[in-house]
Amino acid sequence: MINSKRLLGHLAELSEIGKNDATDGITRFSYTDVEQEAVDLVTEYMRRAGLAVTVDEVGNVIGSTPGIGPAIVVGSHIDTVPEGGKFDGALGVLSAIEIAQTLNEQQVEQTKILKVVAFKDEEGSRFGFGMIGSRAMAGTLKESHLNVLDNDGISIAQAMQKSGFNPKTIDDAKREVMDVYVEMHIEQGKVLEKANLPVGIVSGIAGPLWLEITLDGISEHAGATPMNIRKDALAGASECMIEIETLMQSESTAVATVGKLNVYPNGTNVIPGKVVFTIDIRDIDEEHRNGLEKQIISIIQQVSQKRDLQWNIRELQRVKPVKADPALQQLLSEKIKEAGIEPLKLISGAGHDAMQFGDRCPITMLFVRSKDGISHNPLEYSSEEDIALATEVFYKFIYDLVRK
Ligand code: GLV
Ligand code: MN
Ligand code: MN
């Protein structure tokens, strides 16, 4: 049996790192001192679990059981969105460490190596480009990806260098020998709560496509410029947003979000001459998502032409949706049934490191019920009972995988 008290203790301790006491929100961006504190703590937990710890070329923290050959890889991330909660990512890493520690304490004989990974920058919050660590491990991170800048104008490559990593060696982070990749994560939606179930099996993950839109108009005097001759970039962006929202109303699984907006020069008495905003478009069906992308781009073009604004669209990231492996889903279903729970399958609307391995090896995920479906928010919550139960189910699943 896993030690849920120890796991919950780790979760509480990790959630203090990067916490804003005024809001309870946690902010841990990649390649920062605060994130390094979290890395150090997780490294210590991995060592106590009996894992040999290495840090790869991009900063993924990898705890391994002894041996060589194909590995069962279990991971998630310890970075957060701005003012995030304490479960998104952290629960996956800490539950995997707890499982490794239990296997070690029970002296379970493994035929396969277990690797627990805390991936670098899943969220993409700092650079608008996520899953840096899992992309590197899957061998799909390219040097050209490292040129994107954070809000202070620092590129991923520069941030890596400052943290002691060499951007020229990212190809060496690719791990060839992965048997399967599995991940436990909070659901971040309401499906399990509505079904009154503590856990569920992820059958597929929607793919995020992130675009950055720049609209250029003219910054002029807010008092002296008549309404009919303005080129107001913010008013144009607002019209785009409302039209995009209207377009998406008839969608069943697809979603689109404007989550980030910068207004220039951002003065009360100045007409906004420039606006930069992001759009996050997702669906489980890639073709359908790409069709929506075309319609959204056409909205931006039409609104810009009508308002005489210049527009520019930059792709930040395009991640393919993935399907989970049927055999892994079946094994996980059996473990859930053995715990006396109905094995419900569900789609993940949120992105996960698991997506990066969909082309490389079989993947699946176990979801844990989220209270009110809230996530990317300090109110994010999963109960201690659900966490304990989920980790025990996941332990039994991984027990089988490392002994096969
Ligand atoms: C990460 O949580 C994402 O889905 O963007
Ligand atoms: Mn996550
Ligand atoms: Mn997240």
What is the spatial distance between Cα 400 and Cα 404, in angstroms, rounded to a whole number? Answer: 6
DSSP state for residue 219 in the 8-state scheme:
-
- Round to whole Å and give the CA distance between 80 and 18: 9
Residues 351, 238 contacting (CB under 8 angstroms): no
The 10s digit of each residue's pLDDT in 86-119 is 999 999 999 999 999 999 999 999 999 999 999 9
Burial of 165 (0-12, 13-18, 19+ CB in 10 A): buried
Measured CA to CA, the distance from residue 245 to residue 297 in angstroms comes to 13
CA–CA gap between residue 206 and residue 204 (Å, rounded) = 7
Residue 176 confidence (pLDDT) above 80: no
Q: Give the C-alpha separation, 202 to 365, whole Å.
A: 5
- Among all bound ligands, the one having the nearest atom to the CA of 377 is 3
In 3D, which of 224, 343, 208 has the Cα closest to residue 282?
208
For residue 354, which ligand has an atom nearest its CA? Answer: 2
Q: pLDDT at residue 228 above 90?
A: yes
Q: What is the C-alpha to C-alpha distance for residues 165 and 143, in angstroms, rounded to an integer? A: 13
- Between the CA of 342 and the centroid of ligand 2 the distance, in Å, is 24
| Distance from Cα 128 to the centre of ligand 1, integer Å | 11
Angstrom distance (rounded) from CA 334 to CA 195: 19
CB under 6 Å to ligand 1: residues? Answer: 123, 208, 350-351
Q: For ligand 2, an ion, list residues with CB under 5 A.
A: 88-89
Ligand nearest to the CA of 319: 1
* Bridge partners of residue 185, in order along the sequence: 367
C-beta of residue 54 within 8 angstroms of C-beta of residue 64? yes
Q: What is the CATH number of domain 207-318?
A: 3.30.70.360
Which atom of ligand 1 is closest in space to residue 122's alpha carbon?
Answer: 1
pLDDT confidence of 148, banded at 50, 70, 90?
very high
Query: pLDDT digit string (tens) for 156-169?
Result: 999 999 999 999 99
Beta bridge partners of 75: 117
Average pLDDT over residues 45-51: 98
Q: State phi, psi for 199 to the nearest 5 degrees.
A: -140, 165
Ligand 2 center to residue 375 CA distance, Å?
A: 9
CA-to-CA distance for 235 and 317, rounded, in angstroms? 26
**Which of helix, strand or coil describes residue 368?**
strand
Q: Where along the chain do its domains lie?
A: 4-206+321-403, 207-318
Residue 178: per-residue pLDDT: 87
> Mean pLDDT of all residues in the chain?
97
How would residue 175 be classed by pLDDT, with cut points 50, 70 and 90? Answer: confident
| Residue-level pLDDT at 177 | 78
CA of 403 to the centre of ligand 2 (A): 28
CA angle 112, 175, 328 (to 5 degrees): 50
Confidence category of residue 180, pLDDT binned at 50, 70, 90: very high
Tell me the sheet residues that pair with 149. Answer: 155
Ligand nearest to the CA of 353: 2
Measured by CA distance, the residue closest to atom 3 of ligand 1 is: 351
Question: What residue's CA is closest to ligand 1, atom 5?
Answer: 351
HSE-CB of 6 using CA atoms within 13 angstroms? 17
Phi, psi of 172, rounded to the nearest 5 degrees: -75, -10
pLDDT band at 257 (very low <50, low <70, confident <90, very high): very high
Sequence-separated (6 or more) residues with CB below 8 Å from residue 221: 269, 270, 271
- 94 CA to middle of ligand 1, Å? 19
- Ligand 1 site-directed mutation target among 29, 80, 122, 125, most atoms within 8 Å of CB: 122
SS3 326: helix
**Common-topology check for domains 4-206+321-403 and 207-318:** no
Query: Given the CA of residue 89, which atom of ligand 1 is nearest to it?
Result: 2
- Which residues are 315's β-sheet partners? 211
State whether CATH 3.30.43.10 applies to domain 4-206+321-403. Answer: no
The atom of ligand 1 lying closest to the CA of 282 is 4
Q: Are 264 and 218 within 8 A, CB to CB?
A: no
The token pair that represents 74 in the structure block: 């279990």
DSSP three-state, residue 289: helix
Name the residue of 210, 255, 352, 370 to mutate for ligand 1: max ligand atoms within 8 A of Cβ.
352
Q: How far apart are CA 384 and CA 4, in angstroms?
A: 8
122 C-alpha to center of ligand 1: Å? Answer: 7
Residues 61 and 263: their CA atoms lie apart, in Å, by: 37
Pairing label, strands 113-119, 274-283? unpaired
**Cβ atoms of 181 and 361 closer than 8 Å:** yes
CA of 17 to the centre of ligand 1 (A): 20
How many angstroms separate the CA atoms of 346 and 203, rounded?
6
As given in the structure block, the two tokens for residue 314 are 């930059």
What is the SS3 assignment for 197?
coil
Considering every ligand atom shown, identify the ligand nearest to the alpha carbon of residue 76 and give its number.
2
Instruction: Give residue 37 CA to ligand 1 midpoint distance, Å.
Output: 22
Ligand 3 centre to CA of 212 (Å) is 19
pLDDT for position 248: 98
Q: What number does the ligand 1 atom closest to the CA of 376 have?
A: 2
pLDDT of residue 392: 98
